[in-house]
A and B are shown apart, each in its own frame.
Chain A
Amino acid sequence: MPVTSYRSASCGCCKGWVQHMRANGFAVRDVVVADVAVIKRRLGVPARLASCHTAEVAGFALEGHVPAADVKRLLQKRPPLAGLALPGMPLGSPGMESAYGKEAFTVMAFTRTGAISSFSQHAK
């Protein structure tokens, strides 16, 4: 399934997520843009769910370091959502692996109208 990922040149973690997605069978186009915010607005990512990079797959937005397993579940079920978001840059999420530790995180789902709900919980 083709994924297009948009990131700024200076961000030090977005490439790690692209590698994670490729390792999980996604064909990822890695695009460097001057202003990621333009992409976020176009895809309707709520500001409070923002992370560093933003991607598109099959008409869904993927914000931040969303695990590939969550993306696969999204594509299987095709729920009426605008996309998934992992806000911020949690340590231990895909592309954010660190010897400094791991953080629990929640992948959020959002709709075209901006309704937000929990999609999956990931323990430490």
Chain B
Amino acid sequence: MTTPLRRRQVLGLGLAGLGTAVVGPLLWDRLQRSAARAQPAGAARLASRGGVADLELVAQATRGSLPGGPAELLTYNGRSPGPLLEVNAGDRVRLRLRNELRQPTNLHFHGLHIPPTGTADNVFLSVPPGGSFDYEFTLAKDHPAGLFYVHPHQHGLSADQVFGGLSSALVVRGDLDRIPEVAAAKETVLVLKDFASASGQEAAMGVGRMLGREGPLLTVNGAINPGLAIPSGGLLRLRLLNASNARMYRLALEGHSLVLIATDGGAIATPEPLDELLLAPGERADVLVQGNQTPGSYRLLNLPYQRSGHMGMAAAEDAPRTLATLSYAGTVPPLPLPKALIPVPALPKPERTRRFVMAHAMGTGMGGMKHDMGAMGGGGMAMGGMGMGFQINGQAFEPDRIDTRVALGSTEDWLIVNDDVMDHPFHLHVNPFQVISRAGRPESQRRWKDTVLVKAGEEVRIRVTFRDFPGRTVYHCHNLDHEDLGLMGVLQIE
């Protein structure tokens, strides 16, 4: 079933500097591939043709290097981030995942509205080392256009695999792309991802699994501080994906507004200029940048963010860091911003409200892990069970236990309560939701979301209609270390 890899060439890395590639173009491994596959090995972009996307992702460990020494990175088709996948609403998608890792893996089609069962967004299946699986599903003709996210969802290993480098951005073309002002903009997908240093010492200094691992190396599409170009008068459409394990991005572009046009699940109704944009792990946003300033260079910055309440934990950085640099090049007749995008209809009145309380605690359940309790040791075990981990409503994740049953077609409000000392981005699979209020304050504009940041001590009310697809799926914290440490529940739609 599997074809051995031939690793001919993996280049080392230079140290940080403008446009220094870290893991993108440099980490490319030539794969020996079957002739039946149309896409060239190691391509940066894989797209559908004639209504069919025939894709392959090979998950593998790839030798490379990071500042500080050699490192083993996890890649799709020899790349981190993996190839950009591009499909159209209405397409048939066939995606073969080949697992060349030494551990099981699988895929989650984060944000797509497809079945949670069978060969679609089924996170309960597992592809063993050396195995492969053919994912296959059809996107609805009216599936919203947007930026989605393909990544592993193997419980207990999700954080290791995503933090190690496994992710691909998935673009669905459709409604939003046909708006003339949007179509006229130059488009760039930016995958935001931090990597551990070669020594991995930061984990020993406190930013470990309980807070969620962050790395000191910030990359955009696998490069440190890449250049972005905009002509004077032009319009740039930045499509941003936070593919990090736990790091928050508080983005600002010097001298420019970020004009929000789409959130996780697609277009918003009216463009919204922002001074800064906060993206939690798993969140996406499309912003337009107008080339209307004095020609020159402007830094895309990641501003400091404190994600552990008032306590000072995980205060990894106290100064802005440069992610990319925008430079003016050339001139075009001024392109206008769109005035209106795509209406976001109000969802029906909710039939019921549920409450989900997230926290870390000493657990009493088994949490779906069959560990030898004797290995735990220590006084904390007097409390029994799993020991320290994360819980929703007092229970750690258990794959065989259904936590929430909802009726297909119904609408519910979910009150997501963070009773913890650190932030938790809450993610729901399969069905997009709308945020109704945060910390009691109503949202200014309806937006389609699938991941929402719930800050330490805060409450967020979301509204969701469970449309089209029955089956079993999950909701969880998208700080993936937290997910692996139990902060996930099972949802049955029936």
Which residues of A does B touch, CB under 8 Å?
A: 8, 10-13, 16, 19-20, 23, 35-37, 40, 45, 47-52, 86-92, 94-101, 103-106, 108
A contact residues around B229 at 8 Å (CB):
none
Known: A45-B312, A99-B376. 18 other contacts (CB 8 A): A10-B419, A16-B362, A23-B379, A36-B311, A50-B206, A52-B421, A87-B205, A88-B207, A88-B208, A89-B206, A91-B210, A92-B378, A97-B376, A98-B386, A99-B369, A99-B386, A104-B203, A108-B205
Would A101 and B209 count as touching, CB distance under 8 A? yes
- B486 and A100: CB pair below 8 A? yes
* B387 x A97 contact (CB < 8 A): yes
Q: What is the interface size of chain B, counting residues whose CB is below 8 A from a CB of the partner?
A: 46
Q: Is the CB of B380 within 8 A of A91?
A: no
Of residues 193 through 208 on chain B, the ones whose CB sits less than 8 Å from some CB of chain A are 203-208
**Residue among A13, A35, A90, A99 making CB contact with B373, cutoff 8 Å:** A99
Q: Which residues of B contact A86 (CB under 8 A)?
A: 206
- Is A10 in contact with B359, judged by CB distance below 8 angstroms? yes
* CB-CB contacts below 8 Å: B340-384 with A: 359-362, 367, 369, 371, 373, 375-383
Interface check B313, CB cutoff 8 A: yes
- Residues of A near B388 (CB, < 8 A) are 12-13, 16, 91, 95-98, 100
The answer to whether A100 touches B380, judged by C-beta atoms less than 8 angstroms apart, is no
Does B457 belong to the interface (CB within 8 Å)? yes
Enumerate 29 A-B pairs (CB-CB under 8 Å) in ascending A order. Answer: A8-B421, A10-B419, A11-B421, A12-B420, A16-B380, A16-B383, A20-B379, A36-B310, A47-B315, A50-B315, A51-B206, A87-B206, A88-B206, A88-B208, A89-B210, A90-B206, A91-B210, A91-B388, A95-B380, A97-B376, A97-B387, A98-B389, A98-B485, A99-B369, A99-B376, A100-B486, A103-B204, A105-B204, A105-B206
B377's nearest neighbour on chain A, judged by CB, is A97
Q: If A37-B312, A87-B205 touch, does A99 touch B367 (CB 8 Å cutoff)?
A: yes
Give the residues in chain B near A103, CB-CB below 8 Å: 203-204, 208-209
B171 at the interface (CB under 8 A from A): no
Contacts of B311 in A (CB 8 A): 8, 36-37, 40, 50-52
Q: Would you call A94 and B386 a contact (CB within 8 A)?
A: no
Decide: B377 and A49 in contact? CB cutoff 8 A.
no
Contact check: which of A45, A97, A106 meets B380 at CB < 8 Å?
A97
Are A100 and B484 in contact, with the CB atoms below 8 A? yes
A36 closest partner in B (C-beta): B311
Q: Which residues of A contact B381 (CB under 8 A)?
A: 97
Closest to A51 in B: B313
Q: Do A96 and B313 touch across chains, with their CB atoms under 8 A apart?
A: no
The yes or no answer to B314 lying at the interface (CB within 8 A) is: yes
Complex interface: chain B residues within 8 A of A100 (CB): 209, 367, 369, 371, 386-389, 484-486
Q: A51-B206, A91-B208, A103-B209 are known contacts. Are A35 and B310 too (CB-CB below 8 A)?
A: yes
- Closest 9 A/B residue pairs (Cβ): A88-B206, A87-B206, A50-B312, A97-B380, A12-B361, A97-B378, A98-B388, A98-B387, A89-B210
A10 touches which of B210, B314, B362, B457 (Cβ 8 Å)? B457
Chain B residues with CB under 8 Å of A52's CB are 311, 313, 421
* Chain B residues within an 8 Å CB radius of A40: 311-312
- Indicate if B211 sits at the interface (CB-CB under 8 A): yes
